């Protein structure tokens, strides 16, 4: 049933009021006419951090140019800090307060910008992605500020629009704002199940390829030229067909060479993971997966590469019939990469293989293979203090060990922090699998929101303890 917000107890009432205020701001970074709302949201977040007692710096990133030539101001990135005791570990939290577009008409059962509780779920755009987790973290810091931990915050407003300017800022501030950061925490994803907590320690990378085959500068009629020319489309189809077989195995020589071997420790992790295979299959709409067991499915989603063919540009794509021989066609495919595949090696393997397949066709057409976009995979060491602390925190709050999970998609932010800062990164989600980020009826449950805040607080305690032990060990070693 419907439950009016704010009647529970003081703590959760305050938390939910916070979220209600933030969700009410239409800080949609995708639709450019709402940019001023994003900027207003950044100001609210800065105020909230100042109220916490943090030193807040809203860094102006200037403006960016839209495809129509118009210049639009970028929202600032907030760099804030609270506590500077050199004895304490410094935890840096990353989050974002911009959201995906949402309109009641898209199929929302409630107004997307009015946080509404139904059956224990708090519905609203940004509830789980990412305003809820950001507020949970801030509220955990506020409530447990006596903890022996220094806090830093990186809050941005352009995550849903490609995090424009963020990477450059991280590079610039690496030796300044970020100099004393020990650990980085990101809470911008979801558990794998609806009820069991999870820690995320890896994401796949993605290498996108264009394969262009060109015969000349004009499309031809299949009546007038069919049967006497090497059709670019036939060449392209053969090239695309050479990439992957019907079992999903990638046929590019050497592509699996650098894939990290599966360790026994890792294999064990998969056994205990809570994952509803049937539900995932139902969500996909497909009748049958390539593998039968939970373990095999997760292994192939998270720690093995995959190749998908997305489409062809330049060929006939409309309904109906057009007996054209297209002159220039561009196949698009991508390879989800895993550790320790190297982007430049993958690119070389793909180009060499396709050029070899093409050369065997004796086609006079022109082949061009390019990689317009490449993102590296990310994986963390699950024995790092960050993961030990997060695991203990989750167990304290939820009374069970969290799942150690990865994500088959490419989330560049963790990799970006790890590469630039050279510090450990954890993705510590508090939302459940069915939260519907980016969808209609996005929500976070009251339970996850409140318990998530507690997990963060417990995490502060655990990381400070572990850090203290590490310092001691290190001091002892120095003493000897």
Tell me the β-bridge partners of 53.
Answer: none
Comparing C-alpha atoms, which of 382, 376, 460, 392 is closest to residue 424?
382
Instruction: Find the shortest distance in angstroms from Cβ 95 to a copy of itself.
Output: 21
**DSSP H stretches of helix in 113-198:** 131-143, 166-173
CB distance 428 to 297 below 8 Å: no
Among this protein's residues, is 98 annotated catalytic? yes
106 appears as a binding residue in the annotation: no
Site for a copy of itself in 402-461 (CB under 8 A): 407-410
Select the span of 59-67, 215-223, 267-275, 467-475 touching a copy of itself (CB under 8 A). Answer: 215-223
Among 111, 167, 180, 313, binds a copy of itself (CB under 8 A): 313
Number of Cβ within 10 Å of residue 202's Cβ equals 22
326 to 365: interface string for a copy of itself, x by CB under 8 A: xx----x-x-x-----------------------xxxxxx
Distance CA 304, CA 341 (A): 10
Site for a copy of itself in 253-292 (CB under 8 A): 284-291
- Closer to a copy of itself at the Cβ: 150 or 215? 215
Distance CA 165, CA 22 (A): 23
- Closer to a copy of itself at the Cβ: 52 or 208? 208
- Closer to a copy of itself at the Cβ: 25 or 301? 301
Under rule CB under 8 A, residue 162 binds a copy of itself: no
The end-to-end CA distance of the chain, in Å, is: 65
Among 80, 141, 301, 367, binds a copy of itself (CB under 8 A): 301
188 appears as a binding residue in the annotation: yes
b/e code 397-408 from CB counts within 10 Å (16+ = b): beeeebbbbbbb
Among this protein's residues, is 356 annotated catalytic? no
Select the span of 43-51, 190-198, 255-263, 322-330 touching a copy of itself (CB under 8 A). Answer: 322-330
- Closer to a copy of itself at the Cβ: 174 or 361? 361
21 appears as a binding residue in the annotation: no
438 appears as a binding residue in the annotation: yes
Q: What's the distance, CA 363 to chain centroid?
A: 41
Q: Which run of H or of E encompasses 75?
A: none
257 appears as a binding residue in the annotation: no
Instruction: Find the shortest distance in angstroms from Cβ 295 to a copy of itself.
Output: 12
Residue of 20, 26, 98, 435 marked active site: 98
Site for a copy of itself in 186-205 (CB under 8 A): 204
Among 36, 109, 168, 221, binds a copy of itself (CB under 8 A): 221
Distances in whole angstroms, Cα of residue 416 to Cα of each of 67, 183, 388: 26, 14, 22
CB distance 146 to 85 below 8 Å: no
Instruction: Find the shortest distance in angstroms from Cβ 311 to a copy of itself.
Output: 3
Q: What is the DSSP string of 4-56?
A: -TT-S-HHHHHHHHHHHHHHTS--BSSSGGGHHHHHHHHHHHHHHHHHTT-EE
Residue 157 three-state SS: coil
Instruction: Find the shortest distance in angstroms from Cβ 331 to a copy of itself.
Output: 9
- Closer to a copy of itself at the Cβ: 88 or 306? 306
Residue 175 three-state SS: coil
**Which residues belong to the annotated binding site for Mn(2+)?**
96, 129, 160, 188, 438
What residue numbers does the annotated binding site cover? Answer: 96, 129, 160, 188, 438
Point out the residues that are catalytic: 98, 159
């Amino acid at each position: 049933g419907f439950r009016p917000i704010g009647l529970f107890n003081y703590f959760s009432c305050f938390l939910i009021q916070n979220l209600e205020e933030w969700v009410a701001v239409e800080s949609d970074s995708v639709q450019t006419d709402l940019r001023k709302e994003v900027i207003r949201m950044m100001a609210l977040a800065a105020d909230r951090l100042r109220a916490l007692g943090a030193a807040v710096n809203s860094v102006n990133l200037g403006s960016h140019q839209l495809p129509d030539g118009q210049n639009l101001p970028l929202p600032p990135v907030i760099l804030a800090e609270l506590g500077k005791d050199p004895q304490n570990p410094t935890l840096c939290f990353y989050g974002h307060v911009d959201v995906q577009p949402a309109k009641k008409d898209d199929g929302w059962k409630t107004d997307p910008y009015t946080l509404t509780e139904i059956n224990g779920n708090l519905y609203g755009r940004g509830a789980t992605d990412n305003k809820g987790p950001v507020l949970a973290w801030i509220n955990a810091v506020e409530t447990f500020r006596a903890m022996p931990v220094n806090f830093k915050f990186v809050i941005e407003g352009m995550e849903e629009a490609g995090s424009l300017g963020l990477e450059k800022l991280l590079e610039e501030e690496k030796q300044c704002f970020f100099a004393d950061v020990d650990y980085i925490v990101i809470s911008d994803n979801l558990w794998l199940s609806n009820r069991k907590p999870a820690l995320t320690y890896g994401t796949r990378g993605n290498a996108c390829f264009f394969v262009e085959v060109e015969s000349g500068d004009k499309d031809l009629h299949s009546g007038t030229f069919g049967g006497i020319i090497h059709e670019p489309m036939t060449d392209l189809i053969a090239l695309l067909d050479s990439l992957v077989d019907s079992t999903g195995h990638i046929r590019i020589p050497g592509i699996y060479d650098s894939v990290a071997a599966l360790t026994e420790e890792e294999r064990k992790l998969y056994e205990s993971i809570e994952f509803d295979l049937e539900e995932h299959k139902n969500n996909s709409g497909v009748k049958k997966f390539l593998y039968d067991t939970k373990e095999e499915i997760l292994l192939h989603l998270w720690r093995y590469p995959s190749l998908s063919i997305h489409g062809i540009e330049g060929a006939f794509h409309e309904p109906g019939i057009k007996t054209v021989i297209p002159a220039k066609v561009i196949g698009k495919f991508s390879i989800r990469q895993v550790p320790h595949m190297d982007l430049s090696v993958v690119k070389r393997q793909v180009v060499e293989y396709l050029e070899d397949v093409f050369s065997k066709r004796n086609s006079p057409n022109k082949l061009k293979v390019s990689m317009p976009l490449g993102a590296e995979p990310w994986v963390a060491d699950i024995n790092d203090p960050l993961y030990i602390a997060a695991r203990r925190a989750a167990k304290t709050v939820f009374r069970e060990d969290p799942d150690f999970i990865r994500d088959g998609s490419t989330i560049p932010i963790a990799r970006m922090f790890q590469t630039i800062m050279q510090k450990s990164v954890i993705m510590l989600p508090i939302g459940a699998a069915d939260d519907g980020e980016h969808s209609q009826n996005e929500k976070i449950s009251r339970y996850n929101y409140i318990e998530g805040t507690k997990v963060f607080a417990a995490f502060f305690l655990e990381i400070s303890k572990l850090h203290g032990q590490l310092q001691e060990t290190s001091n002892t070693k120095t003493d000897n």
